[in-house]
Structure 1
Amino acid sequence: MTGLVLAMVWRRRGQAVTLALLAMLAVASAVAAPAYLIAADRAVAAGQISTAAPGELGLSIAASLNPRAGADPLAPPPLDFTTVAAALVDLPGFDYVYATEYPAVGIEPSLEFASRMVFRQGVCDHLTLRAGRCPAGEGELLLGERTAARLGLRPGDPVTLTGARFNDDAQTPGYVPAAVPQRLTVVGTYTIRDAGEAYWGSHGYFTATPGRGPGEPVFTLMATVAAMDHPGSDVSIDGTAGPAALDVDRLGDLRAGVDRLGDTAAKLGSGVQLSTGLPGLLDRIDAGRAAARQLVPVLAVPLVLLACFSIFLAVGYGAEGRQDELAVVALRGARWWTRWWLATGESLVAVLAGAVAGCLAGQLLVNVVAASRFPGVGVDPGWSSLRYAPLAAVAAVAAAVAAQHRQLLSPVSTLLRRNPARRGRRVLITEAVVVVLAVVAGLQLALSNGSLTGLGLFAPALLILAFALVAARLLVPVLTRGAARALRRGRPGTALAGFQLSRRPGAERLFALLVATVGVAGYAACGVDTAARGRDVEAVLGTGAARVLDIGPVYRQQLLAAVRAVDRNGDFAMAVSRLPSGGPAVPSGLAVDSTRLAAVAAWPDGAPAVRAVAARLRPDAAEPAAFAGTDISVAATTTGLGVGRRLRLSLALSSVDGRGDTEVQLGLLQPGRRVYQQRVRLCQGGCRLNGIGLTAVGTALGITGRVVINELGTVNPVATAVPAERLRDPGGWRMAANGRLAADPDGLRIDLDASGGLSAAAWVQPADTPWPLPVAHAGPLPPGAVLTGLDADPLPAVPVAELPAVPLLGRHGTLVDLEYADRVAVDAAEAQLPQVWLNDRAPADIVDRLSARGLTVTGDHRAGLTALRLAAQGPALALWFHLLAAGLAVLLGAGGLVLAAAVDRGRRVEDLTALRVQGLGRRAAGRATLWTYAVLVFAATVVGLLVALGAWALTGWTLPLAGLTPPDLPLPAWPRPGAMLGACGAVAAVLFLVALATGRDLRNRVEAKTVNGRNG
């Protein structure tokens, strides 16, 4: 009996090979998913490590040492560095750098700042020497080039330095000498190669200091550090993880080692501080792996179901094709096991052979994909990738047996029917169950807020299958009406093709298979394209511009002036500062140089034109009041102050040439007319007036009085800052609180009325900016549209544009003009989180140009690098499996189509040959053969595209395409139409070529048999 089964396999070896290939694809799909997850886990780790920031690849353990602590019997015992270093022994695979530093005074002209005396191992290998040499002996120093130029020092010059400590007295803050002076020698000057290099750790050696420019430590040898007297020092060991520590197979050991290191450091006491970004990197790797484990099964499940369905269809077609053989077996009264084995043996042999081959094919397929997509990572093959292979093989066998149940159980009369009966109640129940499961899975997704767990994980697969089955149910009436219409119109070829499909129940299942094939491929295209567009939004809009540079401490006017000096035409650079946080009700804000907004910033889709928004943010305004020199002079007349009420007069000024901001105290106001003067070195190139401040001295309540500002100008040179007519016009000024302005023939009259006292200054400001300030916003504005200004005071604003998102900030944020916002600020403080945004036309030496203008770059963010990092995260890597699944789905659909055509071929050749002999034209017969399955493919493509979009609409929102914690950005929810049409068109092209090939073969067979019949 087995020999007979094998003979049957050989006799129909074409069908057997096709069925084996389908079974191989089914098992390969089940093997490919876990194998791909193993490869993706490794690729996620490798990708995150390769694109990690330097601070995420190292650690620093630091302590403060006091060599004099032993002199105080009450002081704790000194902490030597041996104790600190012992904490690192348990974490191998790192390259360590030892450093120590302490403050010293003597070369800076003021005690407000101290020099950082630093020893760092191998420092000269990471510096560029501009003059002289590296220190080679005790007492030798290396100065920064700008520091040396500022202080007038050259190699060979002697200096005297004294160890110092910081005096935190609020009245006289600064550094004070606290050690024996030491005479040292400058032997060289340097510039930094890369301040962001991992070697420098997180010590901020090169952070800029207002008024001094970029920070530049004084580097020396350990011998000098040890020999020089100093009150205390900070010691550290910075470790950078090497390849051994970052091996993707040892990340668990790395996390455990970092945890143990943290516990060890904690046991050493608060004097030891551990800082590292490694836990964040490892957490990101874990999150990426978790996202991949959610995304891969989304298409792995429908792929396996599609494979089983294709086997069911293929075996069912084959069983229908040999019903006459099975009828003879049943007619001869064979025992049930003999009948069962003859009915199923041919299919089972092919399915089992394909299942065995699928185990190897799935792993090899993933190996090929991983080798091309994850070069150098490897897939770590193992038996675990085969854990679902037995289940897939059992499912394939079950599908094969289920497809033949009718041939096994039907009586001889039914088996001898030429046209099989329509599908009965049992098939309807099965399809209804699939539809119900799809509805339940969709409801679970909705009720669980998109949790891809339980039945919800199967929702995309069940929905695609349910839509395909329902569409197939609607196929027969449509085909029947179409065929009848074609016959009435005299198109027998088209009518024959339609009737061929409408009269065979297998055509419905084939149509469902093709719809599901296109649906799976289309769903994969939805995920891949939507995710790719989302990564573009995250990389570009989330960064803010093509490149964003973080700047060290700097005044806002310094930032504006430096950027405008570097980019005079506004072609590639824009100054940016953050607005202070105003609480949960006030969205985050950016102050930008809106004259460059259109040239530099990334702009969200669907927003008003960027040039129009920039123009609304910066409408024309009056010229600011400006002082021409350093000797500021204010004439004011004071009257009506009560006894014991005293006021201090101050001015908030900003240098017009970028030197910074300041608040100048002019002294106490005296009764009557007085002139108040002050020299302000910041105003050498001129200063802009931001406000006139009146502050109460003491805590007196009920302050009332009148102050008339008679003149505003400078003494040297003699110049007027504000013309008299502008002073006399109260409309050119504004006062937010504690008083009112009025016209006066002698100048600007300020009537104070502060019943609660003046705990802060009452400010009078020139109305040289729009008021309220124009603001573009994403998301709702706070009540009254009051933002938090640059000086942390309430800032009335008027919305001029609503955006889908603010660059960098996302869907809740605001944009104001930096210069206008700075004019209305009176704090004279540094910019908050200053940045310089650049487009892709910025010169390669932009960092050097900015540094030459006194700015220090402390961070460099590039949209391109962010895109690479996103492409190396779990969601992006997992979606490559979706492409693999789409390819396998196309192969399954093509295989099912080939097998269906092969089974139908014999009977269709007989039918069409008879019609040809009876007079059917060659052209009509050709249409009936060529276009039967081609039309089916075309209809399945259209319906499959709709199925994919429907399944995506219901489930696509649940996929973690942007990771488990998506950013607050308007990420796209739908793919581009072109991407969908292209993907479905490619699938249709493959299936269409298969359909045409089978139709051409059928036509040739019909014509050959017709000729032979006529000749015979």
Structure 2
Amino acid sequence: MIGLIRAALRARWRSALVMMALAAAAAAAAAAPLLYASAAERAATAVEVAAATPAERRITAERHLSPVVPDRQQPSRAFPPELSPDLPAVPGFDTIGGLWITGRIADPADVPPPPGELPDGLDGSLGWRTGVCAHLTITAGRCATGWNEVVVSARVADRAALSLGGTAILYTGEKYPISRFTVVGLYTPVDPSGDYWAGRTFFAGWQAREPIADPMFTTRETVHRTLAADYVESADLIGRPEAFPDAARTAPPTVGAWAPGYDWAVRTDLPALDARIVASGAQLRDGLELAGLPLVLLAWLVLWFAVSFGVALRRTEAGLFALRGTPAALRWVLVVAEAVLPVLAGTPLGYLAAWAIVAVLSATTLDGAPAVLPDTNSMIWAVAAVTGALLVGLAAQWRAVVAPVAVLLRSTPARHRQALAGTAELVAGALAAAAAYQVTTVDEPAGGLELLVPMLVALTAGLLGARIAGLLAGRAAGRALRRGRLVRGLAAAEFARQPAQLRVVALAVIVFAMVAFSGTASAVAAAGRAERARIDVGAARVLTVAPLGEQDLLRAVRDADPDGRYAMAAARITRAELNALAVDSTRLATVAAWSPRYGPDAATVASLIRPRPPAPLRVAGDTLTVRATAVAPPPNSRLWVTLLPVTGPMVRVQAGTLVAGPHTYSAPVEACAAGCRLGAMEVETPYTLEYAIDVTVTEIADASGPIDAGLTDPARWRTVSGTVLETPQLTVDAAGARLSYRSRGRPDLRLVSTATPMPLPVVTGGEPADAVPSATGPMPIGRAGRLTAGPAGAVTLVDLEYADIAAYDAAAAVEPQVWLRADTPDAVVAALTRNGLSITGERSIAERATVLAGQGPALALRFHLLTAAGAVLLGVGALVVLGADRPRRVRQLRALRAQGLRAGPAWHSQLVAQLAVVAAGAVLGLAAGALSWWMTRDAITYYVDGVGPLAPPEWPGAGAALGPVVALVVMSGVAAGSAMSLRRAVEER
């Protein structure tokens, strides 16, 4: 028996090799998704962690401590509080302890200050932080290591006149002694936006309207022994990449257990990061759960075809075995052995091939190239796929054992059972319809089913297409032969008469459908990610800067790029009534990465939110005068003027007490030496039973003389409305701006300069509020246009300069940013720094696109391209198997040659027949792929957080045709080569 089996395998080694290769393909297709999922999930986690903000990788425990005062009657006798003896420790996290107190870095000449007053100097702090010296660049001297030694930042030393080796004075309150420290070094922080400083605003206050000094760093003991009203003790845990996801999930409870009680506050954004990691992993597994199944099924189909084809070729041999009385059991043993041994031999080869392919894919496409490790689940699935292949092989050889001798010895194979074939087609169609219904109508995650629908649709299309193609080819053969078109007629006859040809058509349909769908999904996903990256970031590069005033931000950017070619200032408005992105609209069309799908183009939006340049009243010098006429003013009524300096906080100065008749009022305005914007004039009156005010402002002048204040233009001045106070009457005519009021209710007697259109124009995709709060009362909002979506995820845009002027508060910008074009010269970025901007971080469209491409949904779609390539190889294998029928075709063609058929038409007919198989598969497969895409396009997951501001394109660009074209070229080449190999044999007599 063993000898017979060995002889059979030797005689049919090509068939055995094909079966082994197909079994290996099935094993590889089953194991590869699981191997890839394990590596890809680690890579996706690494991408999410790398893209996370420092706050999302940090746990902060913090508490406030007061000094110990044993005797409440003697508060000056205070002692430092008791601190925690240790710090929390979590594997994978770096723990950074901290302790600091706040105070005032005082001028020695003003110490001690008068009772109840603060000394001259800078608000600042004294702090200790674990390992702080490693995160400071010591520009002079050394780091503080001893008692009462401090290092101060270079800019604070310059502002506060602190010298190396000198004394720094910290005033912590009149109840506590003044502390003196020796300055042993000057520093600049290393990477203030890095993990070490994350969550701590140590250096953010320097550019605020009222600067806050960088901390003075010293030892823990020095901070502890310096008496102050409030001690802040903290522990910051920064997660390293290896802490995610497992250790990071246990870290918050660990820190919470370390810091029990109400006095400790534990904060973390780790759950938000973990939620993205979990979602990315779940979407990756859903996308890969059924990824290998189409390839396994295709391998089984090719195996069925190959074994069935081989059985058909060995039909006579099987008939002779039966004719000679060979027992059925022995024939079954021969059949089983001939199928089982090659399949079993292919199992380890397929698993190793899957491991090698995924390892290469990991090394070349996954960030960090995670190691691909064999696991039990992948082995189990590989064995299951091979078991299925084995059953397919045995089922394909069933007829060779059970068929009657007469059937086996026939030269022409029996016709297929049409009922059985029709049932298979109905079952495949029903499954495809059910899956498509589930995906397109059920409002729940498809769980990867959307990626199985193409296989089911392709299988249905292949079975039905092969049946229809056979019928059409039969009719075409008769018609062509009657008309004398030999090549076409013989090719159609070969196509119609041979079941093997039609089976390859069905397989080719499946191959092209898989390629078309995978290519389409990948192309649409790539386009969607590119657009999503542009939306999320807003410009090619976006710099985040330390807090500063909106006018300071605008001025710094405009001075760095005076032509407006490369840089644009932007900030957020985060009020409940208006959540918007404020941009320098004069540069929006040039700098922003604008999408046509937003709605109006960038230039149109810029003109809508800034219909004309603002016209603020500018004053300069150290004196401001107001010429006004008052009619019987109430006693002790005063005139005040509110000014907004170019830099610094808002200034409100008194111009004098109102007197009857025309009078010139004067106010000193030292803060306006560099220039100010005149905001408002206000009449302040004492409380009374009835208010009677009549004041007309006729002229405003600064140090250079009268200014064009528009006091005769009704569009240039307004009163305050919407407050709890009454609104006076405003009359603006040739005589000037007149405020008049007579009533019992207290009025708001402010006359506000209007520098922007009213209401404030916004372009939005939502429903804006009627008004937003400002320092002069509710500011009306008006929709100037609509957006479908907007840059940086904003659906509402407003002009930054308009918003700053309308707010009337000289507030610091929220999330100040500088948007840059991709070709921005380094000189522009350097000029931003010179102009006072402290760059704390940078984002780019390219980096965001990389993050999106590294998330679970993108990695799953990427793997489906690999399965499409595997499908093409299996399709090539089917064509190779079809080419094994060469002896039969040669005999037929030589017989036709003997009857007078020329050699050219003879082998040309085979070439046309083989190419027709590929062409039919391509046409039907591409149609099936397009249908599959149309049914499932809305169910495919592209991003971890959902569909995004704009849905991806519904149909791909021309790049999606690359895969089908390559598949067509490869399979056509193999088919043509098979036909060309007959040429010499046919030409020989």
- TM-score (structure 1 length as normaliser): 0.87
Quickly say closer, same or farther: Cα 1:366–1:290, change in 2 above 3 A. same
Query: Equivalent residue of 1:190, what SS?
Result: strand
- Distance in 1, matches of 2:502 and 2:554, equals 70
After TM superposition, the structure 1 stretch with the greater mean CA deviation from structure 2, 789-798 or 394-403, is 789-798
Q: Which residue of 1 aligns with 2:970?
A: 990
Distance 1:949 1:691, change over 3 A: farther
Structure 2 residue aligned with 1:155, among 123, 141, 164?
Answer: 164
Q: CA deviation at 1:578?
A: 1.8
Residues 150 and 1003 of structure 1: is their aligned pair in 2 closer, same or farther, counting only changes over 3 Å?
same
Alignment of 1:489-888 (within 5 A): 490-583=484-577, 588-607=579-598, 608-621=600-613, 623-638=615-630, 653-655=643-645, 657-659=646-648, 661-662=650-651, 673=662, 675-692=664-681, 706-714=694-702, 716-722=703-709, 726-734=710-718, 737=721, 738=727, 741-750=730-739, 764-766=752-754, 768-777=755-764, 779-782=765-768, 793-800=778-785, 802-810=786-794, 813-844=795-826, 849-888=831-870
Taking a change above 3 Å as real, the CA distance of residues 678 and 638 of structure 1, as seen in their structure-2 partners, is: same
Cα distance in 2 between the residues matched to 1:992 and 1:74: 98
Q: Flag structure 2 segments of 5+ consecutive residues without an equivalent.
A: 111-117, 722-726
Structure-to-structure mapping, 1:53-68, within 5 angstroms: 53-68=53-68
Q: Which amino acid counterpart does residue 16 of structure 2 have in structure 1?
A: A
Residue 21 of structure 1 and its aligned partner are, at CA, apart by: 0.8
Deviation at residue 306 of structure 1 after TM alignment: 1.6
Counterpart residue identity of residue 683, structure 1: C
SS of alignment partner, residue 970 of structure 1: coil
Choose from 382, 395, 402 the match for 1:389: 382
Distance 2:346 2:6 in 1: 15
State TM-score, norm by structure 2.
0.89
Which residue does the alignment assign to 2:205? Answer: 208
1:305 Cα deviation from its structure 2 partner: 1.8
Q: Relative to structure 1, is the Cα distance of residues 578 and 639 closer, same or farther in structure 2, using a 3 angstrom cutoff?
A: farther
Distance of 2:571 and 2:657 partners within structure 1: 34
- What amino acid is the match of 1:198? D
Question: 1:164-204 deviations in whole A, cap 9, x for unaligned?
Answer: 3xxxxxxxxxxxx3310123333443222311122224221
Matching residue's letter, 2:781: P
In structure 2, C-alpha distance between the alignment counterparts of 1:933 and 1:753, rounded to whole Å: 100
- Give the aligned residue type for 1:377: P
Instruction: Evaluate the alpha carbon distance shift between residue 133 and residue 730 of structure 1 in structure 2; reply closer, same or farther with a 3 A threshold.
Output: same
Q: Give the letter aligned to residue 543 of structure 1.
A: V
Residue 739 of structure 1 deviates from its aligned partner by 5.7
Aligned partners of 2:935 and 2:157: how far apart in 1? 66
In 2: Cα distance, 1:934 partner to 1:788 partner: 74
2:411, 2:847 → 1: CA distance?
Answer: 67
Q: What fraction of aligned residue pairs are identical, expressed as a percent?
A: 33
How far is the alpha carbon of 1:337 from its aligned partner?
A: 3.9
C-alpha distance in 1, partners of 2:904/2:683?
A: 100
Q: 1:101 is matched with which residue?
A: 100
Please report how far the alpha carbon of residue 124 of structure 1 lies from its aligned counterpart in structure 2 after TM superposition. 3.4
Cα distance in 1 for residues equivalent to 2:674 and 2:914 = 83
Conserved 8 A contact 1:578-1:590: yes
Return closer, same or farther for 1:821/1:740 CA change in 2, 3 Å cut-off. Answer: farther
Query: In the TM superposition, what is the alpha-carbon distance from 1:961 to its structure 2 partner?
Result: 2.0
TM-aligned CA deviation for residue 15 of structure 1: 2.5
Specify the alignment match of 1:274 in structure 2. Answer: 266
State the one-letter code of the partner of 2:525.
Answer: A
CA change 1:312–1:594 in 2 (3 A) is same
SS at match of 1:775: strand
Asked if the contact 2:520/2:955 (under 8 Å) is kept, the reply is yes
Residues 690 and 353 of structure 1: CA distance in aligned 2, closer, same or farther (over 3 Å): same
How far the C-alpha of 1:987 sits from its partner, in A, is 1.6
Query: Where does 1:158-173 land on structure 2 (aligned, <5 Å)?
Result: 158-164=167-173
Counterpart in 2 of 1:173? none
**Which among 378, 388, 391 is matched to residue 398 of structure 1?**
391
- Relative to 1, partners in 2 of residues 1:648 and 1:281: Cα closer, same or farther, differing over 3 Å? farther
State how far apart, in whole Å, the 1-side matches of 2:573 and 2:749 are.
Answer: 21
Cα deviation for residue 953 of structure 1 reads 2.2
Q: 2: distance between equivalents of 1:630 and 1:832?
A: 31
- Counterpart of 1:80 in structure 2 is 82
Unaligned runs of 5+ in 1: 165-176
2:544–2:839 Cα contact (<8 Å) kept: yes
CA 162–823 in structure 1, closer or farther in 2 if over 3 Å, else same: closer
Amino acid corresponding to residue 275 of structure 2 in structure 1:
D
C-alpha distance in 1, partners of 2:648/2:20?
A: 79
Contact 1:561 1:658 in 2 (8 A): no
> Which range moves more in the overlay, 835-844 or 541-550?
835-844
Residues 668-697 of structure 1: CA distance to partner in whole angstroms, max 9, x if unpaired? 867655544433344222223345567887
Q: Paired residue for 2:229, among 231, 242, 254?
A: 231
How far does the alpha carbon of each residue in 1:563-612 deviate from its partner, in whole angstroms, 9 at most, with x for none?
212222223221112233345xx6x3211101221232121243544334
> What displacement does 1:910 show?
1.3
Q: Is the 8 A contact 2:355 2:372 kept in 1?
A: no
1:453 to 1:133, Cα distance in 2 relative to 1, 3 A: closer
Q: Which residue of 1 aligns with 2:137?
A: 128
Contact 1:652 1:827 in 2 (8 A): no
**Rounded Cα–Cα distance in structure 1 between residues aligned with 2:769 and 2:224:** 61
Alignment match of 1:897 (pick from 874, 879, 883): 879
- Counterparts of 2:572 and 2:240 in 1: how far apart (Å)? 37
Deviation at 1:29, TM superposition (A): 0.7
Post-superposition offset of 1:986? 1.5
Matched letter for residue 203 of structure 1: R
Name which of 109, 112, 128 aligns with 1:119.
128
Report deviation, 1:993: 1.9
Cα distance change of structure 1 residues 889 and 755 upon mapping to structure 2, 3 Å threshold:
farther
Q: How many Å separate the matches in 2 of 1:18 and 1:753?
A: 103
> Structure 1 residues 420 and 698, CA, compared in 2 at 3 Å: closer, same or farther?
farther
| SS of the residue 1:940 aligns to | helix
Q: 1:886 to 1:599 in 2, by over 3 A?
A: same
Give the distance between the partners of 1:321 and 1:763, measured in 2 at CA. Answer: 102
1:815 partner amino acid: L
Given the superposition, is the C-alpha separation of residues 794 and 519 from structure 1 closer, same or farther in structure 2, using an over 3 Å criterion?
A: farther
Q: Which residue of 2 aligns with 1:174?
A: none
* 1:181 and 2:171 matched: no
1:316 aligns with one of 303, 308, 311: 308
- Give 1:8's aligned residue: 8
Aligned amino acid, residue 307 of structure 1: A
Does the aligned pair in 2 maintain the 1:213–1:855 contact within 8 Å? Answer: no
- Contact 1:591–1:821 (CA under 8 A) maintained in structure 2: yes
User: 1:914-925 maps to which residues of 2 (within 5 A)?
Assistant: 914-925=895-906
Of stretches 597-606 and 729-738 in structure 1, the one that deviates more from structure 2 is 729-738
One-letter amino acid of the structure 1 residue matched with residue 44 of structure 2: V
State whether structure 2 residue 193 is matched by structure 1 residue 196.
yes
SS in 2 for 1:579: strand
C-alpha separation between the residues in 2 aligned to 1:16 and 1:933? Answer: 24
Equivalent residue letter for 1:235: E
Q: Are 1:326 and 2:318 matched, yes or no? A: yes
Partner of 1:377: 370
1:113 is displaced (CA, Å) by: 5.5
Please give the alpha-carbon distance, in whole angstroms, between the structure 2 residues aligned to 1:736 and 1:465.
73
User: What CA distance in whole angstroms lies between the structure 2 residues aligned with 1:882 and 1:469?
Assistant: 23
* Cα separation, 1, equivalents of 2:781 and 2:379: 65
Task: Name the structure 2 match of 1:951.
Answer: 932
The size of the alignment, in residue pairs, is 968
Instruction: Call closer, same or farther: CA 1:667–1:897 in 2, change over 3 Å.
Output: farther
Matching residue's letter, 2:809: D
Q: 1:227 to 1:351 in 2, by over 3 A?
A: closer
- Residues 572 and 813, structure 2, Cα contact 8 Å, conserved in 1: yes
